[in-house]
C-alpha cells in the first residue's frame, strides 16, 4: 500500500504541472479563437501575437506615439479608470520595456540573527526627510501574484548579482526552482578566480 501511495504521489507530481499548463494553453487558445471568430484552431493566438507586435511597432514611430498619448490622455480623465490604467501600466513596465524595475535583486536583513528575505530594490531615495537613508524593496509572494512593499534602512539591503527573471522565478516558486541566477558568484567564490 505504501508503494502504491508513493507511486500515486510521484505520478501526480509529474502530471499535475503538465496538465495545468496544457489546460491553460488550450483554454487561452480556445477563448481567443472564439473571440476572434477564427476558422482554424490556434489562429486566434497567432492573430493576437501579430496584432500585439504590430501595435508595438506602430507606437515606436511619431504617429503611433501621438495616438498612444491621445488615448492615455482620455484614460487619465476618468478617475477609477485612471487608477486602474496607471497601476497596470506601471506593473507591466516593471517587467518589460526600457524602465524595468525588477532588475535589482536584493536580500534584506530582517533580524540580528542573519534571517533575510528576498526581493527587488525599486526605489533608492525618498523626498520625505523622515525616510532619508531608506530604500523601497518589493517582496513578491511565493505561489501568488501578490507581494509587499517595505521601506528599510539602506544598510540592511544587500544587492545580489543575479538575473532578475530567474530570481523572480526562484521566489515565486517558494525556493523550489533551482537558484542558478548568480552571475558572478558560485558558493561565495567569484567566477574567473581559481576554484
| Mean pLDDT value of segment 120-143 | 81
Bigger pLDDT: 23 vs 95: 23
Cα–Cα distance, 140 to 169 (Å, whole number): 10
Give the pLDDT mean for 142-151.
Answer: 76
Condensed to tens digits (0 to 9), the pLDDT of residues 32-54 reads 888 878 788 888 888 888 888 88
How far apart are alpha carbons 68 and 59 in whole angstroms? 7
Average pLDDT in the chain: 76
pLDDT of the residue at 101:
65
pLDDT at 189 over 50: no
Residue 86 cell numbers, joined? 496607471
Least confident of 21-25, 75-79, 176-180: 176-180
pLDDT, position 103: 75
Whether 109 shows a pLDDT value over 50: the answer reads yes
**pTM for this one?**
0.50
Question: How far apart, in whole angstroms, are the C-alpha atoms of residue 42 and residue 36?
Answer: 11
Q: Identify the sign of the CA torsion 32, 37, 41, 44.
A: negative
pLDDT recorded at residue 98: 60
Residue 99's pLDDT is what? 62
DSSP secondary-structure letter at 163? -
Q: Give the integer Cα–Cα distance in Å for 115 and 108.
A: 8
Q: Which residue has the cell 528576498?
A: 118
3-class DSSP state for residue 174?
coil
pLDDT top residue among 11 and 154? 154
Higher-confidence residue of 157 and 94: namely 157
- If you count DSSP H runs as helices and E runs as strands, how many of each does the chain have, helices first? 5, 7
Cell of 55: 501595435
Question: pLDDT tens-digit profile of 49-105?
Answer: 888 888 878 777 777 778 878 888 888 887 788 777 777 777 666 666 666 667 788
Q: Which three cell numbers stand for residue 13?
A: 507530481
Taking the C-alpha atoms of residue 90 and residue 122, their distance in angstroms, rounded to an integer, is: 12
Amino acid at each position: 500500500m505504501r508503494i502504491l501511495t508513493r507511486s500515486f504521489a510521484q505520478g501526480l507530481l509529474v502530471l499535475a504541472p503538465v496538465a495545468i499548463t496544457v489546460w491553460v494553453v488550450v483554454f487561452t487558445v480556445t477563448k481567443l479563437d472564439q473571440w476572434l471568430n477564427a476558422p482554424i484552431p490556434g489562429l486566434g493566438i497567432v492573430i493576437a501575437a501579430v496584432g500585439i507586435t504590430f501595435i508595438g511597432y506602430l507606437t515606436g514611430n511619431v504617429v503611433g506615439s501621438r495616438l498612444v498619448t491621445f488615448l492615455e490622455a482620455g484614460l487619465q480623465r476618468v478617475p477609477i479608470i485612471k487608477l486602474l490604467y496607471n497601476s497596470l501600466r506601471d506593473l507591466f513596465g516593471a517587467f518589460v520595456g526600457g524602465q524595468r524595475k525588477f532588475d535589482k535583486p536584493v536580500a534584506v536583513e530582517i533580524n540580528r540573527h542573519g534571517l533575510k528575505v528576498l526581493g527587488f530594490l525599486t526605489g533608492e531615495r525618498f523626498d520625505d526627510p523622515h525616510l532619508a537613508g531608506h530604500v523601497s524593496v518589493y517582496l513578491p509572494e511565493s505561489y501568488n501574484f501578490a507581494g509587499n512593499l517595505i521601506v528599510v534602512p539602506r544598510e540592511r539591503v544587500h544587492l545580489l548579482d543575479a538575473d532578475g527573471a530567474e530570481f523572480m522565478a526562484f521566489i515565486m516558486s517558494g525556493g523550489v526552482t533551482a537558484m542558478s541566477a548568480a552571475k558572478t558568484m558560485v558558493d561565495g567564490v567569484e567566477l574567473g578566480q581559481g576554484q
